[in-house]
Amino acid sequence: MIYLDYQATTPLAPESRDAMLRWLDGPEGVGFGNPHSPHRYGRQAAAAVELARDQVAALFPPGGQVIFTGSATEALNIVMRGCQPVLAGRGIAVSAIEHAAVWDTARSMANAFHAIPVDDAGLIASDAPIPADVGLVAVMQVNNEIGTIQPVAEIARAAKAGGALFLCDAVQAAGRMPVAMADCIAISAHKLHGPKGIGALWFRDGIELAPLITGGGQEKGLRSGTLSPALCAGFGAAAKLAVERTEPDGQHVEALWTRALELFDGWTINGSPTARWHGNLNLRRTGLDVARLMSEVRDVAFSAGSACASGSGKPSRVLQAIGLNDKDVKTSIRLGFGRYTGMQDLESAAAAINAAARAQG
């Protein structure tokens, strides 16, 4: 089986796995300690959590604090719902291609909702007007479906000029490129070769958020609940590796991308080919029956759209936002590759996908 679905999740790094095992078994069996306990078991676990926090913090800009959450979805919800006192009834503006964690959350809130449009390349205009009544702007750095990279720094400046808080979903960017400056930033361990079930929220010093989950007051009172030292350690090790490997991983992805463009000659790329993370290849082909393709190419794991939306039967909101009609949306596939993808894997997968697609006529 060849795995080409790096936007859905990434293979666990062996270094991350090893770091976790230490806190499941641990030397002398102390790995199970509660990091919030004052005795030796607890202090050792707390030290592991704090080391992991420093390792994860290295992914973010200076001048802020990191708390661990159960996922990026939770981190995004903490900001969007927890900033209500700051919003004071003002509206929320989000890009038209945000992940459901932001889009559906904003839609479910009582505040006025504004969608910031993207062009047919999947990019927000850097001078996109932000409505006057908006108190929170949320724009992702890298899109999970089409990989486009937004001009986040400019949008952050516009949000600030309008007196709005700026939230960036950096889930698909973190560990691959420097994370953009924002007031609040959410990331997820499993998108950077860490474990599932843990995310992080970074917020700039001075930002005030109200907790969604109350209880023992952990994570600066913002996210009560006992942390898992194993998940934190796994996240920390994955983050450390990502920082060390940003350059070689990036070069590897560029080589895969260049070869993929040759291999998928005759397909059309959805979204900008340049302002894009090159580990994301979202393609369409006239007349393609994607469900049939996926059932015929069983040895390659890839996606028919966003993994989060797949199975819903709904056409992709992101592909619609870049102007594709329903027919073109349905002929699109997403291939995602990265650190552990071999060139041979890509070539074999492309051969299988192309053969099945051509056989459809």
Q: Which residues carry out catalysis?
A: 308
Nearest one of 346, 341, 175, 146 to 264, comparing CA atoms: 346
Q: Do 199 and 218 form a contact (C-beta atoms < 8 A)? A: no
Q: Supply angle C-alpha 246, 284, 170, rounded to 5.
A: 30
* Residue 10 structure tokens: 């990434």
Region from 30-38, 70-78, 124-132, 254-262 binding ligand PLP, contact rule CB under 6 A: 70-78
- Classify 342 as helix, strand or coil: coil
Shortest separation between residue 304's beta carbon and ligand PLP, angstroms = 15
The residue (of 207 and 308) whose beta carbon lies closer to ligand PLP is: 308
Q: Binding of ligand PLP at residue 122 (CB under 6 A)? A: no
Q: Binding of ligand PLP at residue 280 (CB under 6 A)? A: no
Shortest separation between residue 133's beta carbon and ligand PLP, angstroms = 26
Cα gap 131→198, rounded to integer Å:
34
Q: Binding of ligand PLP at residue 256 (CB under 6 A)? A: no
The residue (of 90 and 99) whose beta carbon lies closer to ligand PLP is: 99
Backbone φ, ψ for residue 109 (5° rounding): -90, 155
- Which stretch of DSSP H or E encloses residue 281? strand 280-284
The residue (of 167 and 241) whose beta carbon lies closer to ligand PLP is: 167
Q: Binding of ligand PLP at residue 182 (CB under 6 A)? A: no
Q: Binding of ligand PLP at residue 73 (CB under 6 A)? A: yes
Shortest separation between residue 137's beta carbon and ligand PLP, angstroms = 16
- Which stretches of 157-233 are assigned E, i.e. beta strand? 165-169, 184-188, 199-204
Q: Binding of ligand PLP at residue 181 (CB under 6 A)? A: no
13, 45, 140, 222: residue in contact with ligand PLP (rule CB under 6 A):
140
Shortest separation between residue 52's beta carbon and ligand PLP, angstroms = 16
Cα gap 185→66, rounded to integer Å:
9
Helices (H), the chain: 14-22, 40-57, 72-82, 84-87, 100-108, 152-161, 229-263, 290-296, 317-321, 326-330, 343-359
Q: Do 282 and 261 form a contact (C-beta atoms < 8 A)? A: no
Q: Binding of ligand PLP at residue 193 (CB under 6 A)? A: no
Q: Binding of ligand PLP at residue 71 (CB under 6 A)? A: yes
Region from 40-48, 67-75, 288-296, 332-340 binding ligand PLP, contact rule CB under 6 A: 67-75
The residues with which 185 forms a beta bridge, in sequence order, are 168, 202
Name, in order, each residue with C-beta under 8 angstroms of 244's C-beta and a sequence gap of 6 or more.
none
The residue (of 139 and 209) whose beta carbon lies closer to ligand PLP is: 139
The residue (of 36 and 196) whose beta carbon lies closer to ligand PLP is: 196
Shortest separation between residue 65's beta carbon and ligand PLP, angstroms = 19
Taking residues 143 to 172 in sequence order and writing x for each that binds ligand PLP by CB under 6 A, - otherwise, the string is: -x------------------------x-xx
Binding residues (CB under 6 A) for ligand PLP: these are 71-73, 99, 101, 140, 144, 169, 171-172, 188, 199, 308
